[in-house]
Amino acid sequence: MQITEVTIHPSNEGLLRAYVNIVFANCFMIREIRVIRGPPGLFVSMPAKKQIDGTYRQIAYPANAETRNMIQRVIVAEYKKVVAGSDPVSNENQKANTK
Please give the Cα distance from 68 to 61 (Å, whole number): 8
**pLDDT tens, position by position, 24-39:** 999 999 999 999 999 9
Q: Among 73, 74, 93, 66, which residue's Cα sits nearest to residue 10?
A: 93
User: Using CA atoms, how far apart are residues 21 and 48, in angstroms rounded to an integer?
Assistant: 14
Mean pLDDT value across the chain: 86
**Tens of pLDDT along 11-64?**
988 899 999 999 999 999 999 999 999 998 999 999 999 999 999 999 999 999
What kind and span of H or E run contains 70?
A: helix 65-84
pTM of full prediction above 0.75: yes
* β partners of residue 48: 58
